[in-house]
Amino acid sequence: MAKSQDYELGSYVFPRGWFMIGEDRELGEAPRSIHYFGRDLVLYRGSNGPVLLDAYCPHMGTHIGKNTSSFVVQSGSWIEGNSIRCPYHGWRFGADGRCNQIPYHDGAIPKAARIRSWPVKVAMGCLFMWHDPEEGEPDYEPPQMPEWGDPAWVGFQFDHLGTLETHPIEIVDNMADARHFDAMHGSSMAYFRVAFDGHRYFQYQGGGHQTLTDRGTELEAVTYYEGPGILISRQYGSQNIVQFICHTPVDDGVVEVWHAILFKGANPSADEEDVARARAYQAVSRTAFVQDFEIWANKLPARSIMMLPSDGPFGKGRRWYSQFYEPAAKAAIIRQELAGSVFCKGLPASREEVSQRLQPAAE
């Protein structure tokens, strides 16, 4: 299992950005104990929305989210408003992570009585946390797609694909990998290019795709990363869908993965038949993704790639990804360096270029 230092990505072990940590509907009245970025965390629903804190009380190291027998838990005082109490001594911590009450202490609360608080937001029914090794404020927002909530589109039903022992750079490499489509997905690539725009990494491609489309039907896709761990792919072929894939570091070299689609129904407001078609097509989309997933689960780490000019721009893709492992000041330099489009040798860059190549030469 390769780790961040093996890829020489940058200064940090884990990247900066918004990452999915679950579905909003999964968060009930009790706190959830979760583990991401090599840390134990506690997620709970406060009166003003979800709150995410490091798991351990600074008083004596108690996990504030794992308990069933404490009177604090049984009495219903575990969560109060936006605050949560440690089940050992009842110290209460607010959404900002600061201790705001010690039941048996009337004096000043020690300044060190605090737990790290992490920004968390709900978007499209998902819970996203902002991870930043520098503890900076978010410099972009979690995705909010116009199709989500549109009555003509069938909403998400997530496939929880579990953990995968691979570094996330191996997953992001797919964006540059123009030549895996043929062997992996039965594609016949007609055009391909990528583009970089700040924290976004775009892929434009089209051609046959035997997994995702009917035989003889071409698939065109505009796919992009919204930061280092959220992929959105608008696909136009047999059906119009938006594929949504998230991968979040659990530990260094281990990620958790989710998959879902938005599906455009045949009616202005999706009916039961549209929902059934959406679920059937999600199985097809999942099959296509699992083709990649199986490779990642059974390969050696590609610390370096024996790149051919016609493979695709792996080097630039990894350079883009490295910005999230560097201090924000250096990340800005990387963004400026990469702005614009990059092409793959031997493949047209667009549908228009394909059409031009098919035109008969002027006499």
Which has the closest alpha carbon to 39: 50, 55, 23? 55
- Give the list of residues 6+ apart from residue 37 with CB closer than 8 angstroms, or none: 14, 131, 249, 250
Q: What percent of the chain stands above pLDDT 90?
A: 85
Which regions of the chain carry the CATH code 3.90.380.10? 153-352
Which CATH number applies to 153-352? 3.90.380.10
- Token pair for 328: 């924000």
Which has the closest alpha carbon to 126: 43, 249, 209? 43
What pLDDT does 195 receive?
A: 97
Residue 355 has pLDDT above 70, yes or no: no
The stretch 271-281 carries a mean pLDDT of 95
* Straight-line distance from the first to the last Cα atom of the chain, in angstroms, rounded to the nearest whole number: 59
- Token pair for 211: 């997994």
What pLDDT does 189 receive?
A: 82
If one compares 307 and 215, the residue with the highest pLDDT of the two is 307
Which regions of the chain carry the CATH code 2.102.10.10? 12-131
d(CA 12, CA 188): 39
Residue 359 has pLDDT above 80, yes or no: no
Which residue carries 């049984």 as its tokens?
Answer: 74
d(CA 346, CA 330): 33
pTM, two decimal places: 0.94
- Token pair for 4: 């961040």
What pLDDT does 167 receive?
A: 97
What pLDDT does 212 receive?
A: 63
What pLDDT does 71 receive?
A: 97
The stretch 341-359 carries a mean pLDDT of 80
Q: Assess contact for 205 and 189: CB atoms under 8 A.
A: yes
- Token pair for 154: 């069938």
CATH architecture of the domain formed by 12-131: 3-layer Sandwich (2.102)
- What's the chain's Rg over C-alpha atoms? 23
